[in-house]
């Protein structure tokens, strides 16, 4: 049952606003679409080329439906155009607020198309747009050539094989979704297609209930299921080698990731999630373990073959445990590791101001460069 309200439609206590923000975005995209000169579109040359191809190419088969082109145009507009123009910042703010309320761990933009509208074609176009731009702008954080596609079941999963560039029925070639001179670049896309059941933790070994009880004895239960990191490697192994992929735990970490992405001396960086870096420390008489936030490889003057390994902690309020962690890193762990001369050169830095991440990172790298001059 549903009822109409002043805020939209109410279903089971939730209110769905059907029109306001969606229609505003649609009107803005429509105005942008009317611009004749590609130089005024506010997108990369590669994106402009793809848009022109989808809009004007003489397809030998079925040309893309307008709703398919409109869906991709909306995604492109929200990503490349809207962030550059102040009058459109409200759309991003709305999306961020909606995501924070619904699922703050994963930023999502949903494109809703009717059944039979051709969502697979839309996915193929989005993959082509991202991959071609990522190949030509390897340092950009705006584009990626790694894609995880999660289907509701194995039947749909198998149908989505047409999104793989090397598939015999690949949409990129068979449906002419990419200009001929760009087709080789789609081969660099790294695509994992799976169904959501694959994310369930599996047993690593099969043990009968009787044998399990025998092995367990009177001790704690025996855990024979895979860990989270083992599950991720099993499901998404094809994406594991990609650099500069970050799942952030807060807006502060997102600010830091952007600073690391843009600094020319940063060779690579990663969130310390599942990487296994733990540092023991004492808080009073309690033994604890510290997991730093980020790991960076920095060219501090020794060249890319001998990078400085910078360990970064992103922290707002510095409670007593944060102070103990920092003291352990600076006074014991970093000097100890560096004195061994077996594990490269390490450094530690704390970042406590979200709006000066760029300046603070540049300051720490400048210090490292100055120190390298006297080595």
Q: Domain ranges in the chain?
A: 2-142+166-180, 209-239, 251-372
Cα separations (Å) of 56 from 51, 182, 209? 8, 16, 64
Tracing tokens 């961020």 back to the chain, one arrives at 96
Closest CA to 125 of 189, 41, 80: 189
- For the segment 113-167, what is each residue's pLDDT rounded down to a tens digit? 887 888 999 999 999 999 999 988 877 778 888 888 888 888 888 889 999 998 9
- For the segment 207-241, what is each residue's pLDDT rounded down to a tens digit? 766 666 666 666 666 667 778 778 888 888 777 76
Please tell me the pTM assigned to this model. 0.60
Q: Please state the rounded mean pLDDT for residues 241-245.
A: 56
Cα radius of gyration rounded to whole Å, the chain: 25
Q: Which of 238-247, 260-269, 283-292, 338-347 has the lowest mean pLDDT?
A: 238-247
d(CA 56, CA 179): 11
Tracing tokens 């409670």 back to the chain, one arrives at 319
- For the segment 251-265, what is each residue's pLDDT rounded down to a tens digit? 567 778 878 888 899
Q: Are 343 and 336 in contact (CB under 8 A)?
A: no
Residue 232's pLDDT is 81
What rounded mean pLDDT belongs to the chain? 83
Residue 25's pLDDT is 92
pLDDT band at residue 283 using 50, 70 and 90 as cut-offs = confident
Which run of H or of E encompasses 105?
none
Residue 9's pLDDT is 52
- Residue 40 carries which DSSP code? G
d(CA 353, CA 359): 10
How far separated are the first and last CA of the chain, in Å rounded? 73
The total number of residues shown for the chain amounts to 375
d(CA 137, CA 131): 10
Q: Any idea of the CA torsion for 101, 107, 113, 115, to the nearest 10 degrees?
A: -90
DSSP E strand stretches across the chain = 2-5, 8-11, 14-16, 146-151, 190-195, 266-271, 279-283, 286-290, 294-298, 308-314, 345-351
Q: Please state the rounded mean pLDDT for residues 322-333.
A: 90
């Amino acid at each position: 049952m549903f009822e109409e309200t002043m805020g939209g439609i109410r279903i089971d206590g939730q209110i769905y606003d059907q029109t306001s923000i969606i229609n505003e975005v649609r009107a803005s995209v429509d105005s942008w679409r009317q611009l004749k000169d590609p130089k005024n579109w506010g997108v990369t040359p590669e994106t402009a080329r793809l848009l022109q191809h989808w809009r004007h190419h003489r397809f030998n088969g079925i040309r893309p439906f307008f709703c398919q082109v409109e869906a991709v145009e909306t995604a492109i507009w929200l990503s490349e155009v809207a962030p550059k123009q102040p009058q459109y910042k409200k759309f991003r703010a709305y999306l961020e607020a909606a995501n924070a309320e619904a699922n703050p761990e994963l930023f999502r933009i949903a494109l809703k198309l009717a059944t039979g509208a051709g969502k697979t074609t839309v996915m193929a176009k989005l993959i082509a747009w991202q991959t071609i731009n990522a190949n030509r702008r390897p340092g950009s954080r705006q584009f990626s050539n790694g894609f995880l596609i999660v289907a509701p079941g194995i039947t749909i999963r198998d149908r989505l094989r047409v999104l793989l560039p090397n598939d015999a029925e690949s949409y990129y070639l068979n449906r002419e979704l990419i200009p001929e001179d760009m087709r080789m670049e789609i081969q660099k896309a790294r695509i994992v297609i799976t169904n959501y059941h694959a994310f369930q933790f599996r047993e690593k070994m099969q043990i009968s209930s009787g044998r399990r009880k025998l092995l367990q004895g009177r001790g704690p239960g025996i855990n024979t299921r895979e860990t989270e990191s083992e599950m991720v490697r099993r499901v998404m192994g094809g994406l594991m080698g990609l650099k500069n992929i970050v799942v952030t735990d807060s807006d502060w970490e997102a600010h830091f990731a952007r600073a690391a992405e843009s600094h020319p001396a940063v060779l690579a960086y990663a969130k310390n999630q599942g990487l296994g870096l733990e540092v023991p420390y004492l808080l009073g008489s309690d033994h604890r373990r510290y997991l730093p936030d980020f790991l960076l490889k920095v060219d501090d003057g020794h060249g890319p073959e001998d990078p400085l390994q910078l360990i970064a902690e992103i922290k707002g309020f510095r409670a007593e445990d944060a102070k103990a962690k920092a003291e352990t890193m600076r006074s014991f762990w970093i000097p100890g590791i560096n004195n061994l001369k077996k594990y490269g050169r390490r450094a530690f830095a704390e970042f406590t101001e979200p709006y000066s991440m760029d300046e603070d990172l540049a300051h720490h790298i400048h210090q490292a460069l100055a120190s390298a001059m006297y080595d």
